[in-house]
Amino acid sequence: RSREHGSYPTRTARLELCRAHNHSRMKPLENQENDSNDDGTRQSVLDLQQRADELEILIGFLRQKILRLQDLNIQQLHQTAAALAECRRLKSHIESLKHGSHGHQSTS
């Protein structure tokens, strides 16, 4: 299985997300000077919707990241288990060589 090297898309997306976040953070300041209450309310609703969208995107990225990490953990667990099995095999082989009996003795 070819592992995706997901750092570049993630980095780009993170930058875009930061840019969008900073942009939406500046908006309310402009709107506070707006005396029209209705307009301000409409704008803050739009800001909230935009922030919700940004959070959705961020949650999506985090989900992908978590899945990738889980995948790596599972791969590492399998590798560790294989390495342990090999160690056990070598250990029992060494023990059998020590005793000069090729697996006929069952003292393990």
- pLDDT tens digits for 10-30? 666 767 766 766 665 555 555
pTM as predicted: 0.45
- How many distinct helices (H) and strands (E) make up the chain? 2, 0
The whole-chain average pLDDT of the chain stands at 79
- The whole-number pLDDT of residue 20 equals 67
Cα 80 to Cα 3: distance, rounded to the nearest angstrom: 19
Q: Per the structure block, which two tokens stand in for 65?
A: 């990241």
Check residues 41 and 108 and name the one with the higher pLDDT: 41
The DSSP code sequence of 35-54 is --HHHHHHHHHHHHHHHHHH
Residue with tokens 């990490």: 69
* Confidence tier at 75 by pLDDT (50, 70, 90): very high
- The whole-number pLDDT of residue 39 equals 84
